[in-house]
């Protein structure tokens, strides 16, 4: 299964394409969609949308995992990120792909085994799971890879497989 992880943002939207097979993971591609600061916000959203459409066509993922928004102290930034996430979700849905959302705590729990893990711990475990010499840059791409791993680890578990096979609760 090819999983495209997305870390949404309006300055940088990170992405990571991971192949998951029988509990093993391989990084296929990663990077970021970027828009320059101090430019028209609606133009930035258009760039994110168009680049996401192209990324989905090129990478052909089976499923997409995206980070759920966490609003901290800066609500204004959160609103912009929410709008960027919206155009990403639109591109995914128009491509006819299944999309799953994960909170930062779920990603940390799945990748590290501890929901309050630090960013460094998540990146280190991501690097280990993928047998990489170093974590890819920028950090947004690394975060997107962790989101893809989160989906792969939760979706390919024996419990998840049994749930799908049974068509509901076990």
13-63 pLDDT tens trace: 999 999 999 889 999 999 999 999 999 999 999 999 999 999 999 999 999
Contact 16, 3 (CB under 8 A): no
Active site residue 7: yes
d(CA 2, CA 74): 34
Active site residue 62: no
CATH of domain 2-166: 3.30.420.10
What residues form DSSP beta bridges with 13?
33
Given this model, what pLDDT does residue 77 score?
76
CA proximity to 151, closest of 95, 67, 69, 32? 67
d(CA 156, CA 4): 15
pTM, entire model: 0.89
Apex 124 CA angle, 72 and 6, nearest 5: 50
Provide CB contacts within 8 A for 60, sequence distance 6+.
2
Active site residue 139: no
SS3 146: helix
In this predicted model, what pLDDT tens digit does every residue of 133-162 receive, in sequence order?
998 899 999 999 999 999 999 875 544 444
Q: Which of 7, 124, 133, 139 is catalytic?
A: 7
Q: Which of 54, 62, 133, 140 is catalytic?
A: 140
Average pLDDT over residues 77-96: 94
Task: Check pLDDT > 80 for residue 170.
Answer: no
CA proximity to 10, closest of 64, 92, 80, 103? 80
Apex 48 CA angle, 129 and 29, nearest 5: 25
What residues form DSSP beta bridges with 20?
25
Contact 65, 102 (CB under 8 A): yes
Q: Which of 40, 46, 51, 67 is catalytic?
A: 67
């Amino acid at each position: 299964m090819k999983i495209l992880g997305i870390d949404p943002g309006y300055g940088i939207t990170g992405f990571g394409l991971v192949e998951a097979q029988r509990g093993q993971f391989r990084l296929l591609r990663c990077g970021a969609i970027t828009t320059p600061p101090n430019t028209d916000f609606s133009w930035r959203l258009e760039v994110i949308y168009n680049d996401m459409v192209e990324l989905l066509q090129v990478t052909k993922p089976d499923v997409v995992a995206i980070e759920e928004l966490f609003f901290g102290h800066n609500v204004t930034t959160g609103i912009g990120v929410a709008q960027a996430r919206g155009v990403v979700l639109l591109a995914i849905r128009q491509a006819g792909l299944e999309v799953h959302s994960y909170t930062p705590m779920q990603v940390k729990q799945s990748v590290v085994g501890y929901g309050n893990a630090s960013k460094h711990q998540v990146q280190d475990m991501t690097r280990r799971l993928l047998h990489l010499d170093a974590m890819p840059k920028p950090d947004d791409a690394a975060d997107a890879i962790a989101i893809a791993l989160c989906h792969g680890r939760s979706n390919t578990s024996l419990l998840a497989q049994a749930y799908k096979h049974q068509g509901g609760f076990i």
